[in-house]
Amino acid sequence: MRYAETGFNLEVDLTRGSFERVTTDARHTEQFLGGLGTNARLMWDRVGPEVEPFSPDNLLVFGTGLLTGSPAPATNRTIVSAISPQTKLFAFSMMGGFFGAELKHAGFDKVVVRGKAPELVYLWIDDGKVEIRDAKHFRGLGTLETAELIRRELGDSMVQVASIGLAGENRVFFASIEQGRSSASRQGLGAIMGDKNLKAIAVRGRQDLNVARPAEFMGYCNDALKYIELREKNPIPGVMPIVAGLGSPQEMRVHDEQWHTENFVWGNARHRRKGFWTKEIHEKWTGTMEHMRTRLLSCHNCPLKCGAAISVDTRICSYMMKCFSKLTYTMGAMSDLDFGLKIAQKATEHGVDAFSAPQTMAFAIELYEAGILTDADFPGWPKEPEGRFYWLLDHIVRREGIGDVLADGTYGAAERIGKGAMAFAHNNIKRHEQLPLKLGMLNPIYFLMYSTGEKINITQIEGNFPQTPFATRAEREAFVKEWEHVPDERFKQWFLDWELRGEKSIPNYPTVEATCEIVHWQEMMHYIDDSVGVCAGLSSFPLKPPYHIHNWPRIISAGSGLTLDEESLKHTTRRIRTLVRALNIRRGMRRKDDKPPDDHWKNRFPELEKKLLDAYYEFKGWNSDGVPTRETLHELDLDFVADEFVQKGILKAEEAAA
Amino acid sequence: MNLSNGRTIKTIRIDVAKCNGCRACEVICASFHAKPRYSSTNPARSRIRVIRDQVADIYLPVYAGKYTAAECAGRDKYVIDGREYDECAFCRASCPSRDIFKEPDSDLPLKCDMCESDPTVKEPWCVQWCLAEALVFEERQVAEDKAPALDDVDIGLTALANTHGWPKVLDAVGRMGGTEKKG
Ligand code: SF4
Ligand code: SF4
Ligand code: SF4
């Protein structure tokens, strides 16, 4: 008997219109857990480096985590993977909401989609029964709209739907896959779905999901809930409200946006607006939010409420929103919250990523202002920035005129436009748009995270270690007092000694050695989450979360029946992380690609940065070009990777033999 | 009022405005009632279901009540604060017209038992897991129900007789009298 997982994947070949229920290899669960880990293994085996993003051979994988759907709070993630059209690398985007649990109850751990349907279709997974259905009548419709029509067509209001909008259908490089209050937004997975002519996946399940050691597991679930309750009542003192609690940033309920609006940058990630947050703005924006937000919304089995139903027209819920998408359109267009919440409704229906889309639109406006693009590129566009954003959104999702160029994202568009446009695509890592944030002094921890995080998104690697030092020793001492989350006591010392100014401050402190450990720890927690299927908001993302490296082994073990202790979980996670690295190395990624946006910090330290990267690669068991060594691969039972690296000349035979 | 020989009514107060639609209540109810306890979860086996309609902003926790053999002939549609609820939304019945409140394999009806168990739980599990406090447990004492006054019955029976005629009513009373059971 398999516990926590179903032991079955649904393999769908859209070219042939066929599907198959496949028993998965239990050893893969032992070695890669589930979610991201087993997605990566599948991709390694089946999607070679020659496979282009828009090839029928690219796989689109909807993989639930090992514990997804279990009673452990917030285990609700579906990890969507494919080769990204934008980065051409292995992409994984974590989708919350209700899809994952439903898929498990329908009898599958993953849906693995290959091929390309001749016409637009959707997949209907009804409790183990599968049907590929015509979706031509949904062409061009919005993501939520489609979901609703599918529920009606199937006559079942409890069906969960993940769908794409116009952006995905038209293969916009930053198209998202939307699923009610959640989405898989980053890295253009919606475009892969559109390329496969797959409008949506609808799922409904009524099957049991088993737990290996029931009473023990439930004990841990209750502990987690009690801790969450306690932690919600006791926000961490001395930090910004946005990072004081649990969950993803509580954008839907926090009204004070001084930190984001004054420290993050506006427009095409350019303008810092010190003093923006006045009393009038505070009142106006609070009014906007209170007026438009009709309800706070949770994901499956999670007591946090990071999402919200937003009403921008006569409907009580026009769409659902979460997180920082509250501000990205507002800040991109240099406008206000009322505009941001309204355009986000259209953007959500079209299905675009709320980081990349506004950034790309602001980039277009900048190119116009710089004379690189001209009136001829924007026939009939309005004068004011808000109108221009609507115009741009519409043209991008339809890939019409200049919209077709911009639909490739800032990097791709700059390549196509030429004329110096690349200087305006300044906020990318590995061709992927980043948070609009520009800072002064290089922070060594963030330098490594930005450079090497293969989710290519800072929020998916940062988390458990405070972002900045606390001002006083007394505050730091208070903070480390109840900090059982750290792997060992050294981490507390590093934090205690970390000062805002002087010798023990950034960029030279934490030391190179400590920085490697801190980054590794934070990344490890994300990889555990993405494989277990828990929301980062209750584990790797916030300070002092309910789940951590010391309780995960017993929770995962009681749920899944795997034999795990702290050491073996760390080892397993390292295996998963290394395999993700290997996938991208096989696709050509190297040290040259491991860098933050050039202008992320004003003050850079090339020598220190080199030292950091050298030390971190060594710490990870990678060679100086960022390639995992034979020794590392062997230690992690990834000899099959090493063999292929040697065969392809990625590792030299003698290097491999060493 | 003397309530010494009254009984305890267990109530769960449902504040639909506070529901965030997380479905934790479903997860824990199904898990608590699994055999062996907590060995599996499956919302289809839960005795509370959250009736949801995201685009209408409807999140309505409903508890499983009595089994009914036949669906209602006439139905009502409620519109509250601009939200139009489905015809059967508020109904607690395990009913042939819909697939909630039935064991998925056997179709046997499910009914909320207030988590009755040995040892007794301090509060029903769905309430404990609803940190949003959309579900609040309340106990109160009420006096024992009095037998209905005879003339009420008179009125009822007369009404029935008016519609169906005495022979039919008497026949029905005769048949049902012997099968009456408590609960
Ligand atoms: S913490 Fe927030 S985003 Fe995460 S599962 Fe809970 S409600 Fe969803
Ligand atoms: S646990 Fe509470 S908030 Fe969550 S769905 Fe149930 S009633 Fe709603
Ligand atoms: S009170 Fe107990 S039996 Fe009834 S719905 Fe809640 S958890 Fe289920």
Asked if the model's pLDDT at residue B151 lies above 80, the reply is no
Complex ipTM value: 0.96
Residue B15 domain-assigned? yes
Query: Which of B36, B40, B131 is closest, CB to CB, to A208?
Result: B40
In a shared domain, residues B47 and B61? yes
**Strand A8-13 to strand A110-114: parallel, antiparallel, or no bridges (unpaired)?**
parallel
B116 and B176 co-located in one domain:
no
Specify the residue with its C-alpha closest to ligand 2, atom 3.
B19
**B118 and B86 belong to one structural domain:** yes
Domain co-membership, B176 together with B141:
no
Domain extent at residue B167? 150-183
Classify residue B54: in a domain, yes or no.
Answer: yes
Task: Report CB contact under 8 Å: A215, B37.
Answer: yes
> Do B112 and B163 belong together in one domain?
no
Q: Smallest Cα–Cα separation from B117: which of B33, B183, B26, B30?
A: B33
Q: For the segment B99-138, what is each residue's pLDDT rounded down to a tens digit? A: 899 999 899 999 999 999 988 999 999 999 999 999 999 9
Please, which pLDDT band fits residue A570 given cuts at 50, 70 and 90? very high
**Domain for residue B167, yes or no?**
yes
pLDDT in tens, B20-52: 999 999 999 999 999 999 999 999 999 999 999
Domain count for chain B, please give it.
Answer: 2
State the count of interchain CB pairs (< 8 A) between A and B: 100
Residue B2 lies in a domain: no
Residue B148 pLDDT more than 70? no
Domain contains B164: yes
DSSP, residue by residue, B76-100: ---EETTEE--TTTT---B-TTSSS
What integer pLDDT is reported at residue A112 of this predicted model? 98
In a domain, B168, yes or no: yes
Q: Are residues B172 and B116 in the same domain?
A: no
**Domain assignment of residue B1, yes or no:** no
Q: Does B54 share its domain with B104?
A: yes
Q: Answer yes or no: are the C-beta atoms of A259 and A232 closer than 8 Å.
A: no
Identify whether residues B104 and B170 lie together within a single domain.
Answer: no
Query: In degrees, to the nearest 5, what angle opens at C-alpha A332 toward C-alphas A329 and A337?
Result: 45
* pLDDT above 80 (res A69): yes
The response to whether residue A298 sits with its C-beta less than 6 Å from ligand 1 reads: yes
Is the per-residue pLDDT at A597 higher than 70?
yes
Q: Are residues B57 and B138 in the same domain?
A: yes
What CA–CA distance (Å, rounded) separates A651 from A644? 9
| Ligand 2 centroid – CA B130 distance (Å) | 5
Residue of A nearest to B40 (CA): A210
Neighbours of A127 (CB within 10 A): 15
Mean pLDDT, rounded, for A8-30: 98
Same domain, B73 and B133: yes
CA nearest A158 in B: which residue? B52
Exposure of A277 by Cβ count < 10 A (0-12 exposed, 13-18 middle, 19+ buried)? Answer: middle
Q: What is the pLDDT of residues A201-249, one digit of tens each?
A: 999 999 999 999 999 999 999 999 999 999 999 999 988 888 899 998 8
Question: Under an 8 A CB cutoff, do B21 and A70 touch?
Answer: no
Say yes or no: B180 and B121 in one domain. no
Average pLDDT, integer, range A149-153 = 97
Among left, alpha and beta (phi > 0; psi -120 to 50; other), residue A187 is left
Q: Which domains does chain A have, with CATH numbers?
A: 8-204 (3.60.9.10), 218-424 (1.10.569.10), 439-657 (1.10.599)
Is B134 at the interface with chain A, CB within 8 A? no
Q: How confident is the model at residue B2 (pLDDT cuts 50, 70, 90)?
A: very low
A271 has a pLDDT exceeding 60: yes
- Which CATH number does the domain housing residue B119 bear? 3.30.70
- Nearest Cβ partner for B82 among A205, A303, A316: A316
Q: Are residues B77 and B25 in the same domain?
A: yes
Best of A67, A301, A535 for a ligand 1 pocket test (most atoms within 8 Å of beta carbon): A535
Q: Is B120 inside any structural domain?
A: yes
